[in-house]
Structure 1
């Protein structure tokens, strides 16, 4: 696994990812090794993954040979720092509504003089992000989530914040905020649609345009809309679906 080029390729296309809700490292490693381009440990809505040390899950993703992201529970420097110290290659920060909040997230992900991240000599032995601050500052990716009307209105300014490497859309929260059904949000392909506004802001600033899909069908819609980093499925739903299909096939024979 190499990180070379993550911060130099434009437009940045990180491909198709796995959303991790399981807290069993064996399950996470097996699922991450299925051909995904990256995997993200969800500490916000990931059930038991929130509020625990997820170094083992991050290491499991990396053992599968793909970069590990963490969606932190909130935009707080101690949560961002802990995720990165645990070996995450990048963070996804929820509910970012303003330039000020975007700057805070980016600063928490970088060491001085670029940011405010605290440097500690004791790090995860599985960490791939370099212990050298200058190298770590270049390698870490910081993506902020636009999930509200206020965030959408400010998306062009948020995308221009130094240290923000991408914008990640939570389509379910965004559709709730806009008073839409998720299907309506995805189906709107007008030039000024909410999703295309996010993509345009990312393209204008050379950023990753990311989004959670949760299904292959929604992933296709998001890719068509121009998103370059898509969480296609989550691990637990994938396991449940595979088990159901295998059981049905076995019984049919």
Structure 2
């Protein structure tokens, strides 16, 4: 196996991640560095993390020693470019329904001639040592979210788009679109189950199969279905649960 092949293999399994909605960089650094393999700042449904400059949060994740991703608010080149200019290692792009939308997302994440990203990564704290465009294009990850019935129907073609490094499932939106309970969607282990179709498409094209779990229990089911990049928990829920467990334990003594 060549070095390139080894890198590609590693990129196909990113392990367990943290979903970031907290906007305190100290908390983000502490939680991201607690043993997770990566962390993703949520600019779409991340509460206070949406609609702000998240360079500090991206820097906090990277300071914790793990890759930093950003789920942008929508599939728009200026949002994708801003996240990458801020130092993100990759983007998660929501609500991608077909090939043209996937191509647009992938193009926005790469410089010319491969894509349409404008060079100017000056918002990152690493701006003094910016990677050359060719290296940046090779290292960035662009994951597109399949969250609708139309996207699921086109998942084989979406996963095959040049520059798409993975398909990331939002099971809550997908369950709504398919008229299913989210628990039933995630637990379905049948050969033709919707989530299994996504995994097969990713494997066939050698790209990441990602998904949001939101709980340790759902994360285990998603891993069993073949997903290789799983957002196990979100930081605020994790902190609240940990605080509750600590308070209960202290009172019990």
Shorter-chain-normalised TM-score: which range?
over 0.9
Q: Distance in 1 between matches of 2:223 and 2:128?
A: 29
In structure 2, distance between residues paired with 1:106 and 1:7: 19
Matches within 5 A, 1:1-253: 8-9=8-9, 12-120=12-120, 122-126=122-126, 130-253=130-253
The count of residues paired between Structure 1 and Structure 2 equals 250
Partners of 2:115 and 2:6 lie apart in 1 by 19
Counterpart Cα distance in 1 of 2:194 and 2:128: 35
Contact 1:129–1:136 at 8 Å: present in 2 too?
A: no
Normalised to the residue count of structure 1, the TM-score between the two structures is: 0.95
Indicate the SS of the match to 2:157: helix
Judging changes above 3 Å, is the alpha-carbon distance between structure 1 residues 139 and 243 closer, same or farther for their aligned structure 2 residues? Answer: same
Indicate if the aligned counterparts of 1:209 and 1:229 stay in contact, CA closer than 8 A.
Answer: yes
For residue 126 of structure 1, report the CA deviation from its aligned partner.
Answer: 3.2
Instruction: Decide whether the 8 Å contact of 1:7 with 1:139 is kept in 2.
Output: no
- The Cα of 1:127 is off from its aligned counterpart by 6.0
RMSD of aligned C-alpha atoms?
A: 1.6
Structure 1 stretches (4+) deviating beyond 4 angstroms?
Answer: 4-7, 127-130
Distance in 1 of aligned mates of 2:53 and 2:245 = 33
- State the secondary structure of the residue aligned to 1:9: helix
Counterpart of 1:44 in 2: which secondary structure? coil
Return 5+ residue gaps in structure 2 as ranges.
none
C-alpha contact 2:55 2:123 (8 A) present in aligned 1: no
TM-score by length of 2: 0.95
5+ unaligned residues in a row in structure 1: which ranges? Answer: none
Residue 207 of structure 1, CA deviation: 0.4
Query: Whole-Å Cα distance in 2 between the matches of residues 5 and 64 of structure 1?
Result: 27
